[in-house]
Copies of this chain bind each other. A is one copy, B any other.
C-alpha cells in the first residue's frame, strides 16, 4: 500500500488504529474449540467486527509459528481475508545478513502479500536495505520498543554520536530509506519521547504498540506524535481481541476498537483546527 492511500484511509475512517491479530489457543472465547481451525474463524470474526474502524492489521508471527506448518496456512488465509483495503503488517522482527534478509523480504512481501514487516536493526544497514526495495512495501524498524528491556541497549547513550542507540537507529536508517518505505516502532510506554521522535522524523509513520494491555497513554501519544498526515498507527492487540471471552466477543472487540477510534477522531479534528488557525 502506498503512503498516499494509507493517509487517505486514515482521514476517511477518522482512525489510525491498527488491530493486533495475536491469537492464542488458550485465550480464545470459551465456546470455541481449542484447535487451529478455530484460530482462523476467530481472526475472521475479529476482522469483520473491526474492519470499518481500523486502517491496519498486525498479525504477530510468533502466534502462528507456535501452531506449526498449519499456523502458516492460517496466517496466509488471514492475510487474504483482510484484503487490500488495510495495511497488513507482518510483525516478524526479522533481520539477517543481506542475502538472507532479501529472502525474508520476498517471502513476506511477494509470497505472503503483506504490506509491511517489522525489522530488528541490530545487524545494521545491509540487513535492512533489502526490505526497502519493494514498491509500495514498508520496513518498520524497531527504534524504541514498549517493553522493560528497551533500557538495556536502546536507551543507552552512544559516545561518538552523542545520542542514545534508538535515535541512532532512526537517524542512520533515514539515510537508507524514506517516508514512503520506512516506518519506526516507538512504544506508547515512552510518551515523553514522542516530541523528540518528531524532531528527528517529522514525516515518517510510527507504529505504536503498548497502548491497552501494556498501559501506554493514547492521548499523550497523539498529542506529541500526530502529524498533518496522521503519521501514527496505534496498535492494540489483547485489549481488543480478548475484550470478552463470551459469545459477545465480536461486539466487545468492536466496542473497544470504537472507543479508541473516537479518541483518534477527536485528535484528528483538533489537529485540523490547529492547522486552520496556523494558516490564518
Contact = CB atoms under 8 A, between A and B. Distances in A.
A184 B159 CA distance: 24
A133 interface: no
Contact of A73 (B69, B98, B165): B69
A68 B72 contact: yes
Interface string A66-103: 10111011001000000000000001011111101101
A94 to B, nearest CB: 7
A145 interface: yes
A121 to B, nearest CB: 6
A49 interface: no
A100 B147 CA distance: 12
Given A69-B72, A93-B94, A156-B168, A100 B149 contact: no
Given A69-B69, A153-B124, A153-B165, A145 B97 contact: yes
A124 B150 contact: yes
Interface stretch (A5-13, A104-112, A200-208): A104-112
A153 B101 CA distance: 17
A31 interface: no
A279 interface: no
Given A69-B76, A73-B69, A150 B123 contact: yes
A147 B98 contact: yes
Interface of A: 22, 24, 60, 62-63, 65-66, 68-70, 72-73, 76, 91, 93-98, 100-101, 103-104, 106-107, 111, 120-128, 142, 145-154, 156-161, 165, 168-169, 172
B147 A172 contact: no
B120 A95 contact: yes
Please state the number of chain copies in the assembly: 2
A125 B149 contact: yes
Contacts of A152: 121, 124-125, 172
Given A96-B62, A168-B153, A148 B120 contact: no
Contacts of A91: 96
Contact of A104 (B24, B62, B156): B62
A22 to B, nearest CB: 8
A25 B28 CA distance: 38
A246 B73 CA distance: 35
B169 A153 contact: yes
Interface centre among A63, A151, A152, A161 (most CB of B within 10 A): A152
Nearest to A102: B62
A41 B79 CA distance: 31
Interface centre among A63, A127, A145, A153 (most CB of B within 10 A): A153
Given A126-B147, A147-B98, A121 B153 contact: yes
